[in-house]
Amino acid sequence: MESRTILDALGSREWLVVDPMQPFRRVTEVRVGIGAPWKVIRVQPVLRELLDIKSEVAKKVVSTPKHPSLSSAPVSDINPPKLVIMQAAEQDDVNARRLFEKKLKLLDEVVAVLQQVASSNVLPVEEIDGYWFIKVMDAESILKERFKVSRAQILGLQVIAPDRLSTVNREKSVYFRIPISEK
């Protein structure tokens, strides 16, 4: 497979950790010692668990010199490149986990507000097969006022739990689809 295909597949499932300051840049360059920088991707902890990728500390291997005259050369105490990368990856995992938890909390709050709006008949709502359908355009102002986030950020939440929040195209309009709350 081409690298672009792989990046598109990982990105569509939101398995890549993307820098919020550069959301369209999915590949990062890392300097490791001398030479050209490595092109790397950072993946979410979920994918690391799926692929059983573990963060292991690289062990320093000291080789015995073939020539006795070279044995007096000191061994460098600099962290090997793999160790530096693993330490950075562990910090990225913590940051990714925090970001995921923050998105999950926002999802819970958005669904709760939409359920409250639907149950109080503030906006026109359709009830079909155990779900409420609310026009995105109608709910957008309420959600923006309440959460101070963009429409794209709210729509991006549907990837986390599509059974709790998703969008559906119906009758030339886009609707939020949320489960009917227990009264």
pLDDT > 70: percent of the chain = 74
Q: Is the pTM of this model over 0.85?
A: no
pLDDT > 90: percent of the chain = 13
- pLDDT at position 59: 42
> What amino acid is encoded at 96 in this protein?
A
d(CA 13, CA 44): 10
Q: How many CB atoms lie within 10 A of CB 132?
A: 21
| Average pLDDT for the chain | 76
- pLDDT at position 111: 92
Strand, coil or helix: 16: strand
- Strand locations in the chain, DSSP E? 28-30, 38-40, 125-128, 131-135, 166-170, 173-179
- pLDDT at position 75: 44
Closest to 42 in 3D by CA, of 55, 58, 28, 22: 28
Whether the predicted pLDDT of 92 surpasses 70 = no
Asked if 28 and 42 touch (Cβ cutoff 8 Å), the reply is yes
pLDDT average, residue stretch 16-32: 78
d(CA 30, CA 138): 45
Asked if 89 and 48 touch (Cβ cutoff 8 Å), the reply is no
Strand partners, 177: 133, 166
Q: What is the pLDDT of residues 112-137, one digit of tens each?
A: 999 998 889 888 999 999 999 999 99
- pLDDT at position 13: 78
- pLDDT at position 90: 57
- pLDDT at position 112: 92
According to DSSP, residue 67 is labeled S
- pLDDT at position 55: 55
d(CA 133, CA 114): 10
- pLDDT at position 145: 86
**Domains of the chain from N-terminus onward:** 3-58+80-98 (no CATH), 106-179 (1.10.10)
Q: What is the pLDDT of residues 42-65, one digit of tens each?
A: 877 777 776 766 654 434 444 455
Phi, psi torsion values for 45, nearest 5 degrees: -55, -30
